[in-house]
Amino acid sequence: MILSIESSCDDSALSITEIATNKLLFHKKISQEVDHSVYGGVVPELAARLHAKALPMILAQCGPYFKNLKAVAVTSTPGLAVTLVEGVTMAKAIAVALEIPLIGVNHLIGHIYSLFIEKEAVFPLTVLLVSGGHTQVMEVKSLTDVTTVAKSMDDSFGESFDKVAKMMRLGYPGGPLIQNLAKDGDRLKHNFTVPLHQSPLIAFSYSGLKNAVRLAVLEEEKNETPDFKDIAASFEHIATKHLTMKLKKYFKTTKPKTFAIVGGASANLYLRSQIKELLKPYHAELLLSELQYCSDNAAMIGRVAVDMYKNDMFSDMEELDIAPKSKL
């Protein structure tokens, strides 16, 4: 069994995964969304304090599994420095106390493996990772062979939803709030420009769209009873269209066979529907994580750790350190 820890942002989570079967024996997550919602986004120092409280509480529930643990895994990159250190410090203490090896896991690889919880991993894949911190396309040939072929030049897909929700004073996290508001809106009401639509670059950018939405929100606020549903719907439509247009451009040279969407923002139902439509001409298989495993969790970290354990990919206790930015 492997005990895995996730503390890269605002979710405190631990899991126990059986090595031989990939079976998830235990998984507990304590979300900090309510604590951060009043600020409209994650406050790193507050997140670190909440991790320091929540992680030991969850660990106490893992006691019965300690005698059977073969390794402890932890997210070490990427993420918020002050929150990553909480998980890594705990993992090192457990490794020393139980005399078991340590496995440092890349959070982005974790999101890819959210597709394979309690399953065998299947490669190769073309992966669209969309989260609060990342928007990138990766070609994944194996656990150790991952190449990023496109990424955001500024804001991420998920981050733009959070910021637009904050403009509308909806709260945090913005993804589900914008999605819910957009359901009753007119997606074509606001003719926002699709970012980089004339650029040959296969890359993403959301800063310009975010500013256009800000101006639309300010205009709507002049009304006695502002109604943001059409703005939300138009924003969600263009934000998604930006992704599909760039993917279509990429597919001209690299036709997809098996395509996956992962990350917290992959739970967006409109995005899922548009990607399904995009893939139809290519007859490509679409893989999706279960909704409960789209956002940050320790189950996905545990699933990566099982394959890393089988390949002897252990971390040196002295050398394992946090890295807020990923090399992927």
Question: In this model, does residue 231 exceed pLDDT 90?
Answer: yes
Task: Quickly list DSSP for 102-142.
Answer: EEEEEHHHHHHHGGGTTS-----EEEEEESSS-EEEEEESS
160 in the same domain as 25 = no
List, in order, residues 6 or more apart from 43 with CB less than 8 Å away. 36
109 in the same domain as 84 = yes
pLDDT greater at residue 5 or residue 131: 5
- Residues 103-132: tens digit of each pLDDT: 999 999 999 999 999 999 999 999 999 988
Q: What is the pLDDT of residue 256?
A: 96
Tell me, rounded to whole angstroms, the distance of Cα 43 from its chain centroid.
Answer: 18
- Assign residue 98 the CATH number of its domain: 3.30.420.40
113 in the same domain as 134 = no
Q: Which two tokens stand for residue 191?
A: 């003719």
**Phi and psi of 208, rounded to 5°?**
-65, -45
275 in the same domain as 226 = yes
279 in the same domain as 137 = yes
Write down the mean pLDDT value for the chain: 97
266 in the same domain as 130 = yes
Q: Which two tokens stand for residue 4?
A: 């895995």
3-state secondary structure 252-290: CCCCCCEEEEECHHHHCHHHHHHHHHHHHHHCCEEEECC
Question: In this model, does residue 224 exceed pLDDT 90?
Answer: yes
In a domain, 277, yes or no: yes
What is the DSSP-derived secondary structure letter of residue 291? Answer: G
In a domain, 109, yes or no: yes
Span 40-58, average pLDDT: 96
Using DSSP's 3-state secondary structure scheme, residue 74 falls into strand
242 in the same domain as 141 = yes
Q: How confident is the model at residue 40 (pLDDT cuts 50, 70, 90)?
A: confident
Span 57-76, average pLDDT: 97
54 in the same domain as 176 = no
135 in the same domain as 59 = no
160 in the same domain as 258 = yes
In a domain, 328, yes or no: no
**pTM of the entire predicted model:** 0.95
pLDDT > 90 in the chain, percent: 97
97 in the same domain as 74 = yes
Q: What is the pLDDT of residue 243?
A: 98
List, in order, residues 6 or more apart from 223 with CB less than 8 Å away. none
In a domain, 81, yes or no: yes
135 in the same domain as 45 = no
Question: In this model, does residue 192 exceed pLDDT 90?
Answer: yes
Question: In this model, does residue 250 exceed pLDDT 90?
Answer: yes
Q: What is the pLDDT of residue 132?
A: 81
The boundaries of the domain holding residue 84 are 2-117+296-310
Structural domains of the chain, count: 2
